């Protein structure tokens, strides 16, 4: 880092903390020459995490896509924007933790389903019907059966 006061390239990191929900890090530095302190924000040069689609095309990981997929499924459901944010953050963190370079897109879909299952069954089935494109009516009915059972279970729990 170049000291903004004297231009020296020698400094010491005094404090380093990650910025929540991002891969950026905030660092407090002290110039070794003039002893003045300054703060830097650093983010890794876009680690290009790639998503591998079912037809093997690759595209850069885009958290906005996850967000809009979930948002669409949750439309008009009693789900707060913060809840959606939280889901997206969890998914992103899990993916970043588990995958280094490439993520199969199918896995992202499954993770979204997993989260929605825990939040709202209507949103779940909406997302599932788009994502899984239920090949036939039997698959769809199977999924509905599973939902009905789960729904009943949740009702008795309340």
Choices 4-12, 66-74, 86-94, 105-113; region in contact with Zn ion by CB under 5 A:
4-12
CB 105 within 8 A of CB 52: yes
Which residue in 1, 23, 30, 33 binds Zn ion (CB under 5 A)?
33
Per CB under 5 A, contacts with Zn ion among 34-93 are 34
Choices 26-34, 54-62, 101-109, 130-138; region in contact with Zn ion by CB under 5 A:
26-34
Which residue in 8, 23, 40, 89 binds Zn ion (CB under 5 A)?
8
The C-alpha atoms of residue 156 and residue 132 are separated, in whole angstroms, by 29
Contact between 11 and Zn ion by CB under 5 A: the answer reads no
Contact between 3 and Zn ion by CB under 5 A: the answer reads yes
Contacts of 9 (CB under 8 A, 6+ apart): 1, 2, 3
The C-alpha atoms of residue 80 and residue 130 are separated, in whole angstroms, by 22
The C-alpha atoms of residue 27 and residue 32 are separated, in whole angstroms, by 15
Contact between 152 and Zn ion by CB under 5 A: the answer reads no
Considering the complex, what minimum distance in angstroms separates the CB of residue 33 from Zn ion? 5
Considering the complex, what minimum distance in angstroms separates the CB of residue 8 from Zn ion? 5
DSSP E strands, the chain: 11-18, 25-31, 37-42, 50-52, 58-60, 102-104
Q: What are phi and psi of 74, to 5 degrees?
A: -95, 0
Nearer to Zn ion, 3 or 74 (CB): 3
Footprint of Zn ion (CB under 5 A): 3, 5-6, 8, 31, 33-34
């Amino acid at each position: 880092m170049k000291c903004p006061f004297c231009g020296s390239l020698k400094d010491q990191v005094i404090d380093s903390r990650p910025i929540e929900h991002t891969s950026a890090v905030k660092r407090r530095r002290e110039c070794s020459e003039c002893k003045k302190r300054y703060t830097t924000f650093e983010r890794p040069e876009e680690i290009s995490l790639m998503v591998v689609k079912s037809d093997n095309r690759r595209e850069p990981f885009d958290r906005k896509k996850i967000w809009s997929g979930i948002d669409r499924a949750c439309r008009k459901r009693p789900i707060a924007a913060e809840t959606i944010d939280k889901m997206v953050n969890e998914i992103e963190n899990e993916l970043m933790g588990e995958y280094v370079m490439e993520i199969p897109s199918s896995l992202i879909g499954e993770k979204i389903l997993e989260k929605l299952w825990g939040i709202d069954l209507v949103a779940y089935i909406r997302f599932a019907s788009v994502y899984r494109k239920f090949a036939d009516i039997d698959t769809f009915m199977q999924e509905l059966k599973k939902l009905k059972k789960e729904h009943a279970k949740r009702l008795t729990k309340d």
